[in-house]
Structure formats: structure tokens, C-alpha cells
Chain A
């Protein structure tokens, strides 16, 4: 069971805080379809501290989205356990807000109403009507989307939709922000803009974030740690790479930073030398 959402305090772990903020312990996931069972994820173990930005990277089909969905509670673990602040995670909830790959805004609501739906649901009891209104505007402002608050998703660009998706997730004040290839469907320039926005927001709010990506530069630029997955079926966490880059990070300065180059090379080496995508191997 999950405890009611407490306001995020920026106090460091409690005195007896031997428990990590988010713990993924020996998680297996298999899907059964038509009597056939296929293992997607095997023995995933990972601890994430409060305020950490962690990326999960791997080739397609390696179960990285599955791992994120497990933390989100959208799918259930087959064996193992996921603990958030020492409470088991097994259902979805606003304390683990998700930024979906394809934005998932409700097309019949305006930008404002999309965020409002989340705010009204999460803060119905704790904030007054005026406070909720102000909170929606605050979060839209955070992603620079205040000017489009009365537009419907069909009237704004893909990058703007994704911004609203991020605003909606942030507005829930999640303990962990989960992002499933949030910039995957965007062009390179928009993507860079949004990455900068996410870094800026992370610096301001200090929220814990897990991001699934298949973009090496994105992972290195944004993350404190990169979780590299081996290829499926039965994918495992292959390696966890610490990124020692100082924050705040500037895209231009990072390009020839030795640590950036080292990290980038390490991820590339993992993905393309040691754990080449099965489809690439087959093509040779």
C-alpha cells in the first residue's frame, strides 16, 4: 500500500535512513500471452536517491520502458519488489507522475484544463480553488507555455504538447518524475530546447527523475547516473555509469569536456560493441 502523498520535503534522509529513496529489488517481469511466457526483465536491482536524475538506456526491446512502467505501477512486477520511501509500489499514482512518449494530453481539453484535471485531482483537499488555479498557471509558466493556455492540443506543436505533458506531471508534485522517451518524437532543435528546460527545472525543483531514452548525448547531458540495459529477452541492468559532470551543465561547454567524452564513449562502447542490437547483428 502506498501512503498518501506527503509534501516533498528537502530534508536529507532520516536518521535511520538506511533505506534508499527508491529501491528496485530483484525485479523480474514476464508477460504471458496465449499460454506462452516471455521474460522481459530479469533480476533488476537499482537504488535511486532523492533528487537524483537517472537515465535508462538500451536498444529497443530491452525492457527499459517496462522498467519505467513498473515504477509507475502501470504494470506489476512478476517477482521482486519496488519500494518508494519504503512503501511498496504496485498501483499507479500521482506520486509517480509520468511524462508519456506521445504526450497523452486529452484532446478535448485545453492546455490549461489538461493540467487543471491533474491539479484538481491531486490537490482537491489540500489547496483552495484559487490556489489550484494559481498552481496550474505556475506550472505552465515553468515550461513557458502560459501563452498557449487556452489552446487545444491539436493547435500546438509536438514540442509544446510535450512541454504541457511535463507541466502536468510536475503539477502533481511527484516524488519521482518518470519520463518515457519524452523527446523521442521531436526534431533535434526542439529536443535540445526541451532538454535545457528539463535541466533548468531539475536544478530549480531538485526533483527525483527517471528518464528512458535511446539517445546517448541526451542521457549523458541530463543524468547523474546512466543505467545501461542488456538486450532482451530477459534483459538485465548491464552497467550503471556515474556522470561526474558539474551542474549547471551547458550544452556548448559540455561538448569537449573530458568527463562528457569519457561517459559518452563508455555508453557507446556498451551499446554498440558489447551489447549490439540484435537487429544490427542480424543485418551483418
Chain B
């Protein structure tokens, strides 16, 4: 008897705290963040998928046109920018290297991402993988802890009242400000870098999960109540699926922030990652190497964002099309 009664209590309390959440500007900003807004999982309705499928006949010209419209404009812009850059930096007084110089001086880094010539002389691919490994661990922990804490804050008014103000303050602390504390606590640079990732990524995950849980439609709660789902069943069968779009929004912001933070953290902690590589290259005045590394970071960051967005669109299939 206690279980449904408790759920009813939660329904009322959860409904009661929605306005509070909506009124709290920080939450609203995170949700309305342009990074989030643009990609929010397109509702892939299976009807449209089914509708497009019968047209199986391979239309090469159509495919080529669609590829061309996606690839040609950025390519043209890149070539134009490269030309401008080449001209602007080709004088002897230029402080930055032109693209041609980058190509001649850092060719090995561009062409061979995975060479190993010694412990510190390795391809950028390896360095990126090392950084990605740190991000994977830190972000992985942040995802699990973030979803659980978000669930707590979303479900319980008292947890929200107690924790939300603290979260709102802590989430404004810049990632690197945590580093000294982490170094003092762990007495080692590797776990400290991971901790910085964790603490950076966790806030948007917590906040978005909590908002998602407060927005679970009353209908679903009623269904759960009539079926007498217990807490665990409610979590797995109703809460997670219906909150998934929100969780993935949080994860997507989180992974972006992680990637921002890892480079900065590695600059300070040293080691093998891509961040330290940039710092090292700066100390030995290898500007072309830095520019190549920047391109790697940008491409990997883009790929991470796409990856989480893709995972989200699979995991939330059907939910957003309700």
C-alpha cells in the first residue's frame, strides 16, 4: 500500500515544484542554451521513415546533389579562408605561420596520426586517444552520478530545496578552479584531470535530468499507479524512457564541456594528452604543431557531439514523437 501512496505524494509535490524550476533563471538558461536548442533530437517519426523506404530505386544524381550541397559550400569557404590566411601571413614580419609552412613543417603530424618514435614523440592520434580515455572515465562517472542525483532532485522536493541552490552556485565555478583542490586531494595528476572532467560535465546532466523528471506527464504516473509499478519498475519502465530526451540534452552539453576542460586541464597536469602537447609545442615554439593540434581537437569535439546526439536519437525514438 505504501508504494502507490508515496507515488501520489510525489505526483503532487513534483507538480508543485515545476513553476519553481521554470522561474529559476539558471535552469532556464541551460535549457535554452543555443547549443542544445539547435540539435534537440529531431522527432524521427517512423511513419516518415516508412514513407521514404518504398522509394528504393537508387537515384545517384539525387544523392550526389545532396552530398554536394552539404560539402561544397564549407569547402569553398575553407579554400577562401586558407588563401586569405596564406596571403596575410606570407610576409616575413608575420607572427603566425601560413598554411603552406604548416604543411611543410608539421606534415608528419597531419599525415601519420599514429606513429611512435619514443615515449614523448608520438602521433597526435595517440594523444587524442589518451585525452579521450580521460574524458570517457570522467564523463562516464558524471553520467551515472548526474542521472542519479538528477533523479533525486527531480523526485523529491526536499532534495531539490536542499541541493539545487548548491548546484546552481557550484556549476558556475570554472573547471580549472577545481584543479588545485583535486591535486591536493588525489596527490596525482591523472585522477585530478579526470575529476575536473567529472565536475565539469555533471551539472548540466543533473539539471536536465531533474527538469525531465519534473516534466514526466501525469498520464504516465497515473498508468504506473493503476498498474502498481514499484519504485524500481517505475524508474526503468517509465522514468528513464520518458526522461531520456532531457538526459541526452544534458549529456550532450556535458560532453562538450568535458572536451573543453580536458585540454585546459592537461596543459596544467602534463602527461601525454593533446592539451599537454599544445603547451609543450608552445614552449618549444612549434606554432605549426599547435595549429594542427587545434584542428584535431575541433574535429574530435565535433565527432563527440555527433556521437552523443546520434545515441540520443536512437535511445529516444518514439518518445519525442508522442
Contact = CB atoms under 8 A, between A and B. Distances in A.
Interface string A123-166: 00000000000000000000000000001111100000000000
A1 interface: yes
A266 interface: no
B218 to A, nearest CB: 9
Contact of A108 (B5, B229, B242): B242
A117 B46 contact: no
Interface string A153-188: 111000000000000000010000000000000000
B238 interface: yes
Contacts of A155: 45-47, 50
Nearest to A101: B219
Contact of B219 (A94, A102, A121, A152): A102
Nearest to A151: B46
Contact of B229 (A76, A107, A121): A121
Interface stretch (B65-73, B97-105, B184-192, B314-322): B314-322
B227 A74 contact: no
B1 A104 contact: no
A108 B228 contact: no
A107 B220 CA distance: 10
A221 interface: no
Contact of A93 (B226, B241, B242): B226
B27 interface: no
Contacts of B229: 121
Contacts of B241: 106, 108
A45 B237 CA distance: 37
Contacts of B321: 107, 152, 154
A98 B227 CA distance: 10
Which of B5, B223, B316 has the largest number of chain A CB atoms within 10 A? B223
Contacts of A107: 318-319, 321-322
Contacts of A73: 4, 225
Given A154-B45, A155-B45, A108 B219 contact: no
Interface residues of A, number: 29
A91 B46 contact: no
A210 interface: no
B133 interface: no
B233 interface: yes
A92 B237 CA distance: 18
B228 A106 contact: no
A108 B46 contact: no
Interface string B43-58: 0011100100000000
Which of B225, B227, B229, B321 has the largest number of chain A CB atoms within 10 A? B227
Interface in B264-322: 316-319, 321-322
Interface in B234-270: 237-238, 241-242, 244
A150 B45 CA distance: 15
Contact of A96 (B1, B226, B237): B226
B228 A152 contact: no
B13 to A, nearest CB: 14
Nearest to A110: B318
A23 interface: no
A7 to B, nearest CB: 18
B222 interface: yes
B318 A104 contact: no
Contacts of B226: 72, 74, 92-94, 96-98
Which of A93, A108, A109, A153 has the largest number of chain B CB atoms within 10 A? A108
A118 interface: yes
A94 B237 CA distance: 17
B238 A154 contact: no
Contacts of A97: 226
A98 B228 contact: no
Interface of A: 1, 72-74, 76, 91-94, 96-98, 100, 102, 104, 106-109, 117-118, 121-122, 151-155, 172
Q: Which 3 A-B pairs have the closest CB atoms?
A: A107-B322, A104-B219, A92-B225
Given A91-B225, A100-B223, A154-B318, 11 more contacts: A72-B226, A74-B222, A74-B225, A94-B226, A94-B227, A106-B237, A107-B318, A107-B322, A108-B316, A117-B227, A154-B46
